[in-house]
Chain A
Amino acid sequence: MNQINASDVRKVAGLARLDLPNDQLEEHAIQLEKILAYVEQLEKVDTTNIPPTTRAVEVVNVLREDVVTSTDIRDKLLALAPEREGDFFKVPKILSD
């Protein structure tokens, strides 16, 4: 069984872009370990040569005429931005010092 500690949680949280405060890492580690331990019952299932299911109901390619349509909600989308400058989404600096 995989043991999960606070530093594992910090690593996964980093991958998930979650800046969790230190005092929450331990609690998440306990829960995550419990849930993963439960999920590990799947190891016992023989899945040799069983293909994975990615979607439950088969879908077919949907074709349509290649015509131009206009949704024209550009300004409405920009208006949702937490911070905006002109026609741009504004973000803090991208490269750290």
Chain B
Amino acid sequence: MAIAEWRRQLSLGKVSARELTQEKLSRIKDLDQTLHSFLEVTSDRALADADRIDEARAAGQELPPLAGIPFAIKDNLCTRGIKTTCASRMLADFLPPYESTVSQRLWNSGAVLLGKTNLDEFAMGSSTETSAFGSTLNPWNIKKVPGGSSGGSAAAVASGQCMAALGSDTGGSIRQPASFCGVVGLKPTYGRVSRWGLIAFASSLDQVGPFTSSVSDAAEVLQVIAGSDPKDSTCLNIPVPNYSDSLNDSISGLRIGLIKECFDQEGLSKSVKDSVLEAANCLETLGAELTEVSCPRFNDGIATYYVIAPSEASANLARYDGVKYGYRSEASEDLAIMTARSRAEGFGSEVQRRILIGTYALSAGYVDAYYRKAQQVRTLIRRDFEAAFTKVDILLTPTAPTTAFSAGAHADDPLSMYLSDLLTIPANLAGIPAISLPCGFDQTGLPIGLQLIGNVLDEQRLLRVAYQYEKAVNVMGSSPSGEFIP
């Protein structure tokens, strides 16, 4: 059910917020022992929130836009008084004393919190396998990963355990799991959405965004979470347009660019390539003009990212010192030993690896060769996009080179896992908005994701193109059925 349809049924009294919340809670109870999308389920609070919505309706009050919508929140977004762990031993018992701006905006809009979702530890990973509390499984095929790092949020939406979810995207952590799980995932422009209360990974790249089962729902959620925030000085003080009103406007004459470098990738699977090109052709029949564009530095995205993101992470994660909050080791000979032991015991190996890469890249003698060089290449990647957007309105690529891979596939080779993010990372480096939406299935019935990339703050047009495609093709209307798919 779409958010708009739910709003209609709620206002007509056909279904209550309590009924919808109970339905989702019972689905969580049935499925999540297997899927493990949630790290914590907040049943009591959810039912109390739902009851308040029903009482407000009974009293004839006007209801806010997301009234009664059951949401799941990635567990790196602070929720006051509710454990926020980042899927790390370091924060296993952390009870935030404050609320993230994005989640506060959801509650102000009437949304109901069902629980907190699993992720790769500190959002570092592409499979949700680095969680300290166990992996999440892909609801389409439980032998496959759901993608990551927001794998719990993606799996929860795909399996109908919630109506929408929030995730965060530093190098593809919303779009890649959306692609692997057959849902819609949107990374807004850097600065469109507040990062206050998002536990920092790489501050110049992190951005919060929605997971939904349709593009129109993504527009509704973005509407609520977007906009300036005095608590985040990088959050843009620019008015938020209406994202839903223009979804139906024609895309006739719109110029869509296929990034050549993305389709030339060695590792791009044939079924993904064919399906994405078919989606491009569909957009052409809707009136869009297709052209090929080149972003020559696109393939340097991963190398650039794996200097910049770990460097920022090594600085951001320096705060976990065993003193103010978080895990403290029993070792207590002196402060330095206590801190170093707490960090060795509290962080998992992938987080440690990223801290080591970042510390190395920022250390004396290497900072120019690695960090500054990567920042310069980042400029070139941005300029490629700027040049492309003088010729086209929207860019089109696959979201990921393959469909969901098997659990453990990259266990012994972190670099091979990093390489799977090559198509999503450049949008983070350039700060531009991008969306992943389902465009088909491979031979084994796993969903394929189409990525559309827009210019800075052009979410309206991005959502419109995605919506028109979704409406024309209705991929999910003819999806293979699955045990965990509603």
Mark A residues whose CB is within 8 Å of B: 9, 12-21, 24, 28, 31-32, 34-36, 38-43, 45, 47, 50-57, 59-60, 62, 64, 73, 76-77, 80-83, 89, 91-96
Which B residues are in CB contact (< 8 Å) with A59?
191, 233-234, 236
Task: Give the CA-CA distance A39 to B336 in the complex, in Å.
Answer: 32
Mark B residues whose CB is within 8 Å of A: 94-95, 97-98, 189-191, 204-205, 230, 233-234, 236-237, 297, 300, 302-304, 306-307, 314, 318, 321-328, 332-341, 343-344, 347, 349, 352-353, 355-357, 359-360, 363, 369-370, 372-380, 382, 414-415, 418, 428-432, 456
- Please determine whether B318 and A17 come into contact, CB atoms closer than 8 angstroms: yes
Of the candidates A57, A80, A92, the one whose C-beta lies within 8 Å of that of B325 is: A80
Which B residues are in CB contact (< 8 Å) with A28?
352-353, 356
Which B residues are in CB contact (< 8 Å) with A9?
356
Which B residues are in CB contact (< 8 Å) with A64?
230
Which B residues are in CB contact (< 8 Å) with A35?
306, 357, 414-415, 418
Residue of A nearest to B296 (CB): A45
- Please determine whether A42 and B357 come into contact, CB atoms closer than 8 angstroms: no
- Please determine whether B352 and A19 come into contact, CB atoms closer than 8 angstroms: no
Task: Give the CA-CA distance A52 to B388 in the complex, in Å.
Answer: 20
Residue of A nearest to B328 (CB): A82
Which A residues are in CB contact (< 8 Å) with B376?
45, 47, 50-53
Q: Given A18-B340, A32-B360, A41-B300, answer yes or no on A92-B353 (Cβ-Cβ < 8 Å).
A: no
Per DSSP, chain B at the interface is helix
Interface contacts (Cβ under 8 Å), in number, total 173
Task: Give the CA-CA distance A9 to B349 in the complex, in Å.
Answer: 14
Task: Give the CA-CA distance A24 to B312 in the complex, in Å.
Answer: 23
B410, chain A: closest CB distance, angstroms = 12
Task: Give the CA-CA distance A33 to B373 in the complex, in Å.
Answer: 18
Task: Give the CA-CA distance A47 to B379 in the complex, in Å.
Answer: 9
Of the candidates B335, B363, B380, the one whose C-beta lies within 8 Å of that of A92 is: B335
Task: Give the CA-CA distance A40 to B359 in the complex, in Å.
Answer: 16
Task: Give the CA-CA distance A83 to B335 in the complex, in Å.
Answer: 13
Task: Give the CA-CA distance A57 to B190 in the complex, in Å.
Answer: 7
Which B residues are in CB contact (< 8 Å) with A36?
357, 360
Of the candidates A31, A51, A73, A94, the one whose C-beta lies within 8 Å of that of B379 is: A51
A35, chain B: closest CB distance, angstroms = 6
Of the candidates B321, B334, B359, B456, the one whose C-beta lies within 8 Å of that of A94 is: B334
Of the candidates B303, B360, B377, the one whose C-beta lies within 8 Å of that of A12 is: B360
Of the candidates A15, A39, A76, the one whose C-beta lies within 8 Å of that of B307 is: A39
Of the candidates B97, B297, B414, B428, the one whose C-beta lies within 8 Å of that of A31 is: B414
Task: Give the CA-CA distance A38 to B360 in the complex, in Å.
Answer: 15
Task: Give the CA-CA distance A35 to B311 in the complex, in Å.
Answer: 14
Task: Give the CA-CA distance A61 to B322 in the complex, in Å.
Answer: 34
Of the candidates B94, B359, B429, B456, the one whose C-beta lies within 8 Å of that of A16 is: B359
- Please determine whether B378 and A52 come into contact, CB atoms closer than 8 angstroms: yes
Residue of A nearest to B432 (CB): A56
Task: Give the CA-CA distance A60 to B234 in the complex, in Å.
Answer: 8
Q: Given A18-B340, A81-B323, answer yes or no on A53-B378 (Cβ-Cβ < 8 Å).
A: yes
- Sample (18) of A-B pairs whose CB atoms are under 8 Å apart: A12-B359, A15-B359, A16-B314, A18-B352, A35-B357, A39-B307, A41-B300, A42-B300, A45-B297, A47-B377, A47-B380, A52-B378, A54-B204, A55-B190, A57-B189, A59-B233, A93-B334, A96-B336
Task: Give the CA-CA distance A52 to B367 in the complex, in Å.
Answer: 13
- Please determine whether B343 and A18 come into contact, CB atoms closer than 8 angstroms: yes
- Please determine whether B373 and A47 come into contact, CB atoms closer than 8 angstroms: yes
Which B residues are in CB contact (< 8 Å) with A60?
237
Task: Give the CA-CA distance A12 to B357 in the complex, in Å.
Answer: 9
- Please determine whether B303 and A39 come into contact, CB atoms closer than 8 angstroms: yes
- Please determine whether B97 and A80 come into contact, CB atoms closer than 8 angstroms: yes
- Please determine whether A42 and B356 come into contact, CB atoms closer than 8 angstroms: no
Task: Give the CA-CA distance A64 to B357 in the complex, in Å.
Answer: 38
Known: A40-B303, A45-B380. 13 other contacts (CB 8 A): A9-B356, A14-B340, A15-B359, A31-B415, A35-B414, A43-B369, A50-B379, A53-B375, A56-B430, A64-B230, A82-B328, A89-B323, A92-B338
- Please determine whether A83 and B328 come into contact, CB atoms closer than 8 angstroms: yes
- Please determine whether B378 and A12 come into contact, CB atoms closer than 8 angstroms: no
B434, chain A: closest CB distance, angstroms = 12
Which B residues are in CB contact (< 8 Å) with A20?
344, 352
- Please determine whether A91 and B97 come into contact, CB atoms closer than 8 angstroms: no
- Please determine whether B233 and A92 come into contact, CB atoms closer than 8 angstroms: no
